[in-house]
């Protein structure tokens, strides 16, 4: 047994503190772009491949806003391929649309179909990224399409991030059990706070991008992860309930809601053909309808730009260099 006596950092016990005098004239003067393979995102924000978040409409909306949507895989192969074609043809010329595949079952057929449709950013979507099956999937994808940009994960430590990087992952989702619709923490006892996971991954990474994934519920959370060393942030529940979210709309007592389900929820597993799921680690709920996704994304980006101005950071590299933190009681 190993026990770490130093408490992990989490969103609740961490804050940024400016220790430099800013020369940034206006928050609009900062740049927060990030390279994803051959493409460049204007904002470091990625939509999660959750079944009720990233459908084709969300992918197009995020591409228009300068981010990246990862089209979810919880549907028949041909449906996902057609949705990818539709989304990529509707995205702006400089926009990027990605897609998710699993690591077993039909993942090879799914990847080939998506690749033939023009997909170049693929997410190997599985809960435990530190698994030999993920390594085998990365090896197969890199053989089939050497130029594909492969996102893998999730992992929660420096050791497992470095292992995935060594397997050839181009970017790694870090953080386990922090999502609002994830029940891994309560069902398994496994929990890696996303800030701690990002800090560890950023400390050992050599080339792979660090994607903070899980628990981001406000612009503040996004800022903390980027300052800790993340290259981009994945949003899931924060985008649910919007018009573009893939979840089904429901009207109850005159009020509009949208369904939001975790990827490992019972209904999603049943929908994927698992007649008797043995374990459920995803929640199912309804969230109030929140209107267009644009204002939500712009709020997150405005918060980041303001934070960068506080830290006299014209770009994300300077933001990380200038960041200082204090622990909260």
Active-site residue identified among 54, 115, 182, 223: 182
**Long-range contacts for 88-93 (Cβ within 8 Å, ≥24 apart)?**
88/117, 88/118, 88/119, 90/56, 90/60, 91/59, 91/60, 91/63, 91/64, 92/63, 92/64
CATH superfamily of the 11-327 domain: Aldolase class I (3.20.20.70)
Residue 18 has a CB neighbour count (10 Å cut-off) of 14
Q: For 165, how many CA atoms within 13 A lie in the half-sphere containing its CB?
A: 17
**Residue 83 near residue 111, CB atoms below 8 Å:** no
pLDDT tens by residue, 192-239: 999 999 999 999 999 999 999 999 999 999 999 999 999 999 999 999
pLDDT for the residue numbered 205: 96
Handedness of CA 132, 133, 135, 139 (dihedral sign): positive
C-alpha angle 229-175-292 in degrees, rounded to nearest 5: 85
Cα gap 224→239, rounded to integer Å: 19
Ranges in the chain, pLDDT < 70: 4-6, 179-181, 262-283
Residue 101's contacts (CB-CB under 8 Å, 6 or more residues apart) are 73, 107, 110, 111, 114, 122, 123, 124, 125
pLDDT tens by residue, 264-297: 544 544 455 555 555 545 567 788 899 999 999 9
**Residue 164 near residue 197, CB atoms below 8 Å:** no
Cα gap 68→121, rounded to integer Å: 10
Check if 182 is active-site: yes
pLDDT for the residue numbered 266: 44
Q: Edge-to-edge strands of the sheet including 255-261?
A: 249-252, 255-261, 284-288
Mean pLDDT of the chain: 91
pLDDT for the residue numbered 280: 46
Cα gap 110→102, rounded to integer Å: 9
State the DSSP H helix or E strand holding residue 224, giving kind and residue range, or none if neither: helix 219-228
**Residue 194 near residue 214, CB atoms below 8 Å:** yes
Residue 286 has a CB neighbour count (10 Å cut-off) of 18
**Residue 153 near residue 173, CB atoms below 8 Å:** yes
Record the tokens describing residue 92, joined without a space. 């702006």
Query: What backbone phi and psi angles, to 5 degrees, belong to 317?
Result: -65, -45
* Per-domain boundaries in the chain: 11-327
Cα gap 207→56, rounded to integer Å: 30
Cα gap 307→203, rounded to integer Å: 22
Cα gap 15→220, rounded to integer Å: 9
User: Helices marked H in 41-129 — which ranges?
Assistant: 56-65, 77-90, 107-116
End-to-end CA distance of the chain: 29
Cα gap 238→136, rounded to integer Å: 32
Percent of the chain with pLDDT over 90: 79
């Amino acid at each position: 047994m190993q026990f770490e006596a130093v408490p992990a950092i989490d969103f609740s016990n961490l804050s940024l503190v400016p220790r430099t005098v800013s020369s940034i004239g206006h928050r609009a003067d900062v740049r927060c772009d990030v390279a994803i393979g051959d493409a460049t995102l204007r904002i470091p924000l990625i939509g999660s491949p959750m079944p009720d978040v990233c459908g084709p409409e969300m992918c197009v909306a995020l591409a228009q806003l300068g981010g990246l949507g990862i089209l979810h895989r919880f549907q028949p192969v041909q449906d996902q391929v057609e949705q990818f074609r539709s989304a990529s043809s509707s995205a702006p010329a400089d926009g990027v649309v990605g897609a998710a595949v699993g690591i077993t079952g039909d993942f090879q057929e799914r990847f080939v179909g998506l690749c033939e449709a023009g997909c170049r950013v693929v997410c190997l979507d599985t809960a435990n990224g530190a698994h030999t099956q993920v390594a085998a999937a990365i090896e197969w994808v890199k053989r089939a399409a050497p130029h594909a940009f492969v996102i893998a994960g999730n992992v929660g430590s420096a050791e497992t991030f470095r292992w995935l990087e060594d397997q050839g992952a181009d970017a790694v989702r870090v953080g386990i059990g922090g999502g609002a619709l994830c029940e891994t923490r309560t069902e398994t006892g496994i929990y890696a706070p996303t800030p701690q996971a990002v800090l560890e991954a950023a400390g050992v990474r050599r080339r792979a991008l660090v994607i903070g994934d899980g628990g981001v519920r406000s612009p503040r959370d996004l800022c903390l992860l980027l300052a800790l060393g993340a290259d981009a942030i994945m949003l899931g529940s924060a985008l649910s309930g919007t018009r573009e979210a893939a979840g089904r709309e429901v009207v109850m007592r005159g009020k509009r809601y949208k369904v939001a389900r975790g990827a490992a929820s019972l209904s999603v597993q049943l929908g994927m053909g698992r007649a008797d799921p043995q374990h459920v680690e995803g929640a199912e709920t309804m969230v109030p309808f929140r209107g267009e996704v644009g204002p939500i994304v712009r709020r997150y980006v405005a918060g980041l730009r303001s934070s960068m101005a506080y830290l006299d950071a014209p770009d994300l590299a300077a933001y990380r260099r200038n960041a200082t933190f204090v622990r909260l009681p």
